[in-house]
């Protein structure tokens, strides 16, 4: 579960994404984001020009709503058959959406074997250029409440519309207490390669305090079922900062999670959301919630304990044993285009993010509009040809009317893409390769990023590695047989949903020092010098930016404090980029292309 939200830069009116620690309402519940620039959630995406490499499908059903959850779920209770009855018409709508989207995009599924294996090529890139879908993730909600035969229908629909690559990772969220041996085997028989469980705590009292539907006994039983089925690729979600939680209780939870043999562990700090029971009962940083410094200590403790146990802290909130990083989530963190289907889900294609309606009736109505009226009218997306007339090279946003003035300029799109790359790059342990920034956006952008991180380097939050890397990638998907089944490397946790309020995560910099607490992030220090100079000044800046590309280094956040204060670092870099625009020399390939 990786949950993201907007934060507004103090330097300008742009909302940038930060991961927040609010867990979802169910097992490894998915991240819900309206990832976009300015008013992106009301803007539309252009149709994909290539088959997607990653697909998310939202299954929103839960037995109850947890006290911290504000996600768009459907509560079905514990009555036998209730979840199946609710799932059937919903899955029918999702199938219709997948087919209508594929038909509108005029993308044919590549010719592939009937079913991809669980192992296979673990080094595939998220290129989307043929070969079929490489990661498919079922999140929610509690997808394990959905009958396996309906999940199978969704898998086959994706296969028929887009293809599924051999060795693809197919992941599902499963709550403790929602599956037995037969149900687990039924899911595995569909080709599921990874299971993500929202445990949240190994303390019975804390589970009850959070309103979780499962008991501690359910957790241990679920782990035993996974072991018996030889599922070696499973993830566990944990929450810190819970009501009355102590550091000692947190250490116990970490130890128990390690003892399960989980290949992957995600750690999130509680986010108090308005409109939830916790939002009515508690105030962040005030009793019975732990103090901010205690939450920071819990984050540092997780980094130390899990690191000593052999888990690589490869992303702000995620730890993995070698070979078990989340390839699906890395598609998000590496800013790779993906499709998402279902209520509240948001796709990212051709530089645009589009969220579907949250409510089930509204979502069903929208699917009907998509089928009957076509993609442009249902989403408000401009036609690709119209986009390319305004923005050579593809892309574009608007209200579907084709008016040039309704679409952002190339400069705005490029700036937003740069900000996305900065924010997402800092999430990962490998950090942000300035050589890549210079190649994509010009030397002036790379210089400003580096200058914006200066204060973070002084504080010890940012580390500058002088040897530039060609790309990020870590050991995601490295893998190989480990004596069990389902060795594909897919992970937990992401659906996108518009309209979340501004908030922060411990892992993104809250709960300590000047960064603020939980939902209130204090912006990082910016740079006061004027960046409003004319284009000639920018040309001079680029022209004086000499040196071969190889001189650029990599900026990465230190572990754990750099991750803790990541909001401050990102805010400072964003402030330094305020007003940045690639100069004509760089756009025309003069300076940037000269050193390629």
At residue 324, the pLDDT reads 97
Element (H, E) at 363: helix 360-373
Residue whose token pair is 């998907």: 477
pLDDT at residue 378, as a whole number: 76
Distance between CA 138 and CA 143 in Å, rounded? 6
* Peptide bond preceding 342 in cis form (omega within 30 of 0): no
Phi-psi region of 393 (alpha: psi -120 to 50; beta: other; left: phi over 0): left
pLDDT per residue, tens digit, the chain (596 aa), is 333 333 323 333 333 333 322 223 332 232 222 233 322 333 333 444 556 899 999 999 999 999 999 999 999 999 999 999 999 999 999 999 999 999 886 544 444 333 333 333 333 334 344 579 999 999 999 999 999 999 999 999 999 999 999 999 999 999 999 999 999 999 999 999 999 999 999 999 999 999 999 999 999 999 999 999 999 999 999 999 999 999 999 999 999 999 999 999 999 999 999 999 999 999 998 999 999 999 999 999 999 999 999 999 999 999 999 999 999 999 999 988 899 999 999 888 777 778 899 999 999 999 999 999 876 677 665 444 433 433 333 333 333 333 334 455 677 778 888 999 999 999 999 999 999 999 999 999 999 999 999 999 999 999 999 864 544 433 333 333 333 433 333 333 322 232 222 222 222 222 222 222 222 222 232 323 333 333 333 333 333 344 444 468 999 999 999 999 999 999 999 999 987 766 544 444 443 333 33
Q: What pLDDT score was predicted for residue 147?
A: 98
Instruction: Decide if 382 contacts 44 (C-beta within 8 A).
Output: yes
What pLDDT score does 348 carry? 85
Q: Where are the beta strands (DSSP E) in 262-350?
A: 264-269, 312-315, 318-320, 339-341, 346-349
Report pLDDT for 377.
Answer: 73
Q: Are 210 and 200 in contact (CB under 8 A)?
A: yes
pLDDT score recorded for residue 466: 81
Neighbours of 595 (CB within 10 A): 17
Confidence (pLDDT) at 226? 98
Rounded distance between C-alpha atoms, residue 117 and residue 36, angstroms: 35
Contact 199, 176 (CB under 8 A): yes
Q: Minimal CA–CA distance to 134: which of 112, 107, 103, 108?
A: 112
Tokens for 175, please give them.
Answer: 């709550």
Q: Is there a contact between 177 and 83 (Cβ–Cβ < 8 Å)?
A: no
Q: What is the DSSP letter of 57?
A: E
Q: Using CA atoms, how far apart are residues 296 and 513, in angstroms rounded to an integer?
A: 9
Token pair in block for residue 548 = 């071969």
Supply the pLDDT for residue 336: 87
What is the Cα Rg of the chain in Å?
Answer: 23
The reported pLDDT for the residue numbered 460 is: 97
The residue with tokens 């006290």 is 67
Q: DSSP letters of 370-407?
A: HHHH-HHHHH-PPPHHHHHHHSTTS----SSS--GGGS
CB 30, CB 495: distance < 8 Å: yes
Instruction: Please give the CATH architecture assigned to the domain spanning 3-333.
Output: Alpha-Beta Horseshoe (3.80)
Residue ranges, comma separated, of all CATH 3.80.30.20 domains in the chain are 3-333
């Amino acid at each position: 579960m990786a949950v993201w939200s907007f934060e507004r830069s103090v330097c300008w009116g742009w909302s940038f994404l930060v991961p927040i620690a609010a867990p979802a309402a169910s097992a490894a519940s998915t991240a819900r984001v309206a990832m976009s620039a300015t008013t992106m959630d009301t803007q539309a995406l252009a149709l994909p020009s290539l088959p997607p490499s990653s697909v998310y499908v939202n299954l929103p059903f839960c037995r109850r709503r947890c006290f911290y959850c504000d996600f768009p779920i459907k509560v079905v209770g514990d009555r036998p058959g209730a979840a199946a009855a609710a799932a059937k018409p919903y899955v029918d709508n999702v199938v219709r959406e997948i087919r209508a989207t594929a038909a509108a995009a005029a993308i044919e599924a590549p010719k592939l074997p009937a079913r991809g294996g669980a192992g296979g090529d673990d080094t595939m890139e998220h290129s989307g250029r043929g070969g079929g879908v490489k990661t498919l993730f079922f999140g929610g909600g509690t997808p394990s409440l959905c009958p396996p035969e309906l999940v199978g229908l969704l898998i086959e629909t994706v296969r028929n519309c887009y293809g599924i690559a051999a060795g693809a990772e197919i992941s599902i969220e499963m709550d403790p207490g929602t599956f037995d041996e037969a149900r687990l085997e039924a899911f595995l028989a569909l080709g599921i390669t990874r299971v993500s469980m929202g445990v949240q705590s190994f303390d019975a009292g804390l589970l009850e305090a959070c309103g979780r539907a499962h008991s501690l006994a359910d957790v241990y039983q679920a782990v035993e079922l996974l072991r018996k089925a030889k599922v070696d690729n499973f993830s566990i979600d944990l929450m810190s900062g819970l009501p009355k939680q102590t550091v000692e209780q947190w250490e116990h939870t970490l130890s128990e999670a390690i003892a399960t043999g989980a290949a992957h562990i995600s750690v999130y700090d509680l986010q108090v959301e308005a409109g939830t029971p916790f939002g009515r009962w508690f105030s962040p940083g005030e009793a019975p919630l732990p103090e901010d410094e205690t939450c920071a200590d819990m984050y540092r403790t997780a980094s130390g304990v899990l690191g000593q146990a052999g888990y690589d802290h490869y992303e702000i909130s995620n730890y993995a044993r070698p070979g078990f990083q989340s390839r699906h989530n890395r598609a998000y963190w590496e800013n790779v285009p993906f499709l998402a289907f279902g209520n509240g889900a948001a796709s990212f294609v051709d530089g645009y993010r589009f969220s579907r309606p949250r409510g089930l009736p509204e979502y069903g109505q929208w699917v009907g509009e998509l089928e009957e009226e076509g993609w442009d009218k249902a989403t408000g997306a401009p036609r690709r040809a119209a986009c390319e007339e305004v923005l050579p090279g593809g892309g574009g946003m608007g209200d579907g009317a084709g008016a040039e003035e309704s679409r952002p300029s190339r400069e705005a799109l490029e700036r937003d893409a740069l900000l996305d790359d900065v924010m997402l790059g800092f999430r990962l342990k490998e950090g942000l390769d300035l050589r890549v920034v210079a190649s994509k956006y010009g030397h002036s952008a790379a210089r400003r990023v580096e200058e914006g991180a200066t204060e973070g380097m002084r504080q010890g939050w940012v580390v500058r590695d002088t040897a530039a890397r060609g790309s990020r990638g870590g050991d995601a998907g490295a893998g190989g047989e480990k004596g069990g089944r389902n060795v594909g490397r897919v992970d937990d946790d992401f659906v996108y949903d518009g309209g979340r309020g501004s908030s922060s995560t411990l892992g993104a910099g809250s709960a300590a020092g000047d960064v603020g607490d939980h939902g209130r992030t204090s912006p990082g220090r910016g740079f006061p010098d004027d960046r409003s100079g004319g284009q000639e000044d920018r040309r001079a800046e680029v022209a004086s930016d000499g040196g071969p590309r190889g001189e650029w280094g990599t900026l990465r956040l230190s572990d754990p404090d750099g991750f803790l204060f990541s909001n401050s670092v990102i805010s400072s870099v964003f402030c330094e980029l305020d007003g940045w625009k690639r100069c004509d020399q760089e756009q025309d390939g003069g300076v940037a292309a000269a050193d390629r």
